[in-house]
Amino acid sequence: MTLLDLLGALDRRGINLGITPAGRLRTNAPTGAITPELAAEIRANRSYLEWTVIGRQTGHTWAPCNACGEVLLIAPGPRLTGKTVWPACVMTPGCPGRHTLTHKSEGANP
């Protein structure tokens, strides 16, 4: 499961993410929404999910590369509004792709 797939699954199940005062990930989920498999994915991607929450609070979202699929946390605000050329891939050495905003970064409600 990719990070974007995980964020979509969390959103579809009504699972909200937040950060505790100590800086740790917390979930707010309806009873039974987090399956053992989903819990394993949350644990495996904990740091990415923490960055998702922090990023959403500062106007950032995950943008996958249109060639290799690696994600980058970017702020699509005024600087990129209406642009047809998005940032070059910086995640995979030699990748010719560009990070594009083709989705809504879900599942990270503060």
pLDDT tens-digit profile of 55-83?
999 889 899 999 999 999 988 766 666 66
CA distances from 77 to 10, 58, 74 (A): 25, 10, 9
Q: How confident is the model at residue 101 (pLDDT cuts 50, 70, 90)?
A: confident
For residue 23, give the amino acid letter: G
**Residue 82, class by beta-carbon neighbours within 10 Å (0-12 exposed, 13-18 middle, 19+ buried)?**
exposed
Centroid of chain to Cα 100: 13
User: What's the pTM?
Assistant: 0.78
Span 15-39, mean pLDDT? 95
Span 2-22, mean pLDDT? 95
CA distances from 45 to 5, 24, 29 (A): 12, 13, 17
Higher pLDDT, 83 or 43: 43
Domains belonging to the chain, first-starting first, are 3-59 (1.10.10)
